């Protein structure tokens, strides 16, 4: 399954990092709510709230984050940052962050790359190997008719749908992501995971087990950082299946 792993692996990873994900989704909601606190009129906020609810984030936490974003409650101001570099084995890595302290986040990301055999590079050094895409993942269960799901997605503006062993992966351009996400949800499909991601156009992988573990440890450490929202990579190996 490469960069996405299996459904079981995804669920296990989400469960193990649930507390950290609350912090990340709260920040995403705060930033989205700056454009308006009503999810009926702010599609980006609506998706952020749906994703937060999907991991069991309490409603009180969600409401508080929205109020911080709209200014009803005092809150932090977050800056969006992006980092690019390489992990061991020539694996390209892009890190997206929301932070209230640029120096702290930059130092932590650089240190993590260095500690695990990676190299933090300059903007643009690896992003040319990726395309920005909306990605919507739905678990493959008996009740889902593939043709019907594809029809809903394509009519809403999706570019493609890929059938994996245990999931369907819907791809959109970033501008159509919100529309497709809404259409799929309104049609009654349960979305396991979704986001606008960097989808690799080429892949790489370390050749030995030691380097694979170092890469996994680097990515895990980055993802555990509260400032980091998302880590994208082009490793063809299923890192979630690797035991440290």
Mapped to the 3 state alphabet, what secondary structure does the chain carry? CHHHCCHHHHHHHHHHCHHHHHHHHHHHHHHHHCCCCCCCCCHHHHHHHHHHHHCCCCHHHHHHHHHHHHCCCCCCCCEEEEEEEECHHHCEEEEEEEECCHHHHHHHHHHHHHHCCCEECCCCCCHHHEEEEEEEEEECCCCCCHHHHHHHHHHCCCCEEEECCCEEEEEECHHHHHHHHHHHHHCCCCCCEEEEEEEECCCECCCCHHHHHHHHHHHHHHHHCCCEEEEEECECCCHHHCCC
Q: Does residue 197 lie within any of the structural domains?
A: no
Q: What is the mean pLDDT of residues 219-229?
A: 94
Task: Please give the model's pTM, rounded to 2 decimal places.
Answer: 0.87
Residue whose pair of structure tokens reads 């193990």 in the numeric block: 16
Which domain, by its residues, includes 21? Answer: 2-70
Structure tokens at 117: 């055999």
Q: What percent of the chain has pLDDT over 90?
A: 80
Q: Does residue 53 lie within any of the structural domains?
A: yes
CB atoms within 10 A of CB 230: 18
Q: Does residue 190 lie within any of the structural domains?
A: no
* Tens-place pLDDT, residues 84-140: 999 999 999 999 999 999 999 999 999 999 999 999 999 999 999 999 999 999 999
How far, in whole angstroms, is CA 4 from its chain's centroid? Answer: 10
CB atoms within 10 A of CB 121: 15
The answer to whether residue 53 scores a pLDDT higher than 80 is yes
The answer to whether residue 216 scores a pLDDT higher than 80 is yes
Q: Does residue 15 lie within any of the structural domains?
A: yes
How far, in whole angstroms, is CA 121 from its chain's centroid? Answer: 21
Q: Does residue 222 lie within any of the structural domains?
A: no
Q: What's the confidence (pLDDT) of residue 1? A: 39
Q: What's the confidence (pLDDT) of residue 241? A: 80
Structure tokens at 131: 């395309």
Q: Does residue 32 lie within any of the structural domains?
A: yes
Q: What is the mean pLDDT of the chain?
A: 91
**Count of structural domains, the chain:** 1
The set of residues, in sequence order, having a beta carbon less than 8 Å from that of 128 and lying 6+ positions away, is none
Q: What percent of the chain has pLDDT over 70?
A: 92
The answer to whether residue 2 scores a pLDDT higher than 80 is no
Per-residue pLDDT band at 169 (split at 50, 70, 90): very high
Q: Does residue 229 lie within any of the structural domains?
A: no
Q: Does residue 167 lie within any of the structural domains?
A: no
Longest distance between any two alpha carbons in the chain, whole Å: 52
Domain of residue 31, CATH code? 1.10.10.200
* Tens-place pLDDT, residues 62-74: 999 999 999 999 9
């Amino acid at each position: 399954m490469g960069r996405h792993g299996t459904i079981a692996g995804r669920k296990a990873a989400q469960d193990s990092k649930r507390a950290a994900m609350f912090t990340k989704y709260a920040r995403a909601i705060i930033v989205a709510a700056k454009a308006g606190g009503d999810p009926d009129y702010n599609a980006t906020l609506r998706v952020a709230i749906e994703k937060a609810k999907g991991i069991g984030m309490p409603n009180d936490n969600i409401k508080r984050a929205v109020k911080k974003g709209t200014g009803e409650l005092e809150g932090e101001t977050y800056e969006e940052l992006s980092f690019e570099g390489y992990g061991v084995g020539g694996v390209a890595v892009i890190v997206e962050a929301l932070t209230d302290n640029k120096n702290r986040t930059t130092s932590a990301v650089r240190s993590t790359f260095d500690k695990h055999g990676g190299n933090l590079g300059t903007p643009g050094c690896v992003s040319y190997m990726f395309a920005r895409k909306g990605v919507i993942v739905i678990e493959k269960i008996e009740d889902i008719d593939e043709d019907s799901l594809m029809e809903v997605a394509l009519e809403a503006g999706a570019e493609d749908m890929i059938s994996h062993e245990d999931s369907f992966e819907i791809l959109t351009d970033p501008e159509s992501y919100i529309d497709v996400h809404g259409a799929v949800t309104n049609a009654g499909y349960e979305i396991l995971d979704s986001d606008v991601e960097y989808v690799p156009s080429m892949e790489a992988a370390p050749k030995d087990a030691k380097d694979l573990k170092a890469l996994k440890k680097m990515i895990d450490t980055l993802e555990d950082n509260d400032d980091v929202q998302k880590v994208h990579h082009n490793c063809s190996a299923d890192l979630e299946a690797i035991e440290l």
